[in-house]
Amino acid sequence: MKIVVTDCSWGSYDIEKKYLPQDAEVVCEQITSDEDKLIEVCKDATAALSEYAPWTRRVMEACPNLKIIAQTAMGFDNVDIEAAKDLGITVTNVPDYCFDEVAEHAAALLVSLMRNTIGYDEVIKTKKVWDFKIAPKLYRINGETLGLIGCGRIPRRAAHMMQGFGMKVIGYDPYLPEEVAKEAGITLVKTIKEIAEQSDAILSHVPLMPSTEKMVAGELFDNLKKHPVFVNTSRGGTVDYHLLSEALKDGRITAAGLDVVDSEPADFDSEIFQCENAYFTPHAAFYSETALEEVRRRSAENVTNFLAGGEGKIDYVVKFDK
């Protein structure tokens, strides 16, 4: 039995090997874009662990023995889910391994922008100016309104943290039950326009899928009333970064904290990187040593448990009807 670790961001495979079946042939590669190489390595594989490897229909059709693709990640947008369904290949992920880290990161970006800590430091170091007035206008966080675009478990956790600062929270999420919102202290609104009109800070955190591609666009940026700060900690493709750039340039958005951009690896010549009031972290919200060990272990366990007992032994199987 052959198991392929197709790609690995951390440069070692010790954790994966520890939790995969000890009698399996484990092949470790670093394939993030080359379909032909992926086919060559996986054509006789039973299982694969992946982060970014391009699991297109063409690749999967060329791997007739493949039974499971275990994503060592929360996302699975590198996998053609419809093709996997048609070919009977199980796809798993680890959607909750870094909830704490991403929520903490989102809250940290929000507070940093609302108190201008990043901006102060940058001006002090680069321009040698020691003057509180170099900041944009700042307001007390207590009593301000945080608008959530997407109210899943991560943004709800980040909202709980911001409620600790005294923020009121409104949210747009047509799929969130009213009772769940109430329990989280979130007042649901029916449109993104309402988020734009009422928010002093905006956290966008929605999964990337065809229905959410560039969903954060004109309805938000054309209706801003309070010059909010804006944070995105989900996927760059969910936001129209051209419109965000325009809003940053003309001041409709005071500042943006972006853990993701719409093209990764980042294109530093792109428009968003020319905005002085945009601040970046390198898709790092998920990261802690604790989270990395967990996602790698659980991804390998997904393969081991599947091979031992099928889908019923796995915590999270990607549902093909979503």
Query: Which listed residue (156, 205, 235, 296) is catalytic?
Result: 235
d(CA 283, CA 234): 9
CA neighbor of 169 nearest in space, from 149, 144, 186, 151 = 186
User: Which residue type sits at 27?
Assistant: V
**What is the token pair recorded at 116?**
């201008």
| 283 included as an active-site residue | yes
Query: Which listed residue (157, 160, 283, 297) is catalytic?
Result: 283
d(CA 51, CA 27): 15
Biggest CA–CA distance in the chain, Å, is 65
**What is the token pair recorded at 289?**
């040593």
| Environment class of 132 (CB within 10 Å of its CB; exposed 0-12, middle 13-18, buried 19+) | exposed
Query: Which listed residue (25, 40, 183, 264) is catalytic?
Result: 264
Please tell me what DSSP assigns to residue 212.
Answer: G
CA neighbor of 228 nearest in space, from 170, 132, 145 = 145
| 242 included as an active-site residue | no
Are the C-beta atoms of residues 209 and 244 closer than 8 Å to each other? no
| 235 included as an active-site residue | yes
Please give the positions annotated as active site: 235, 264, 283
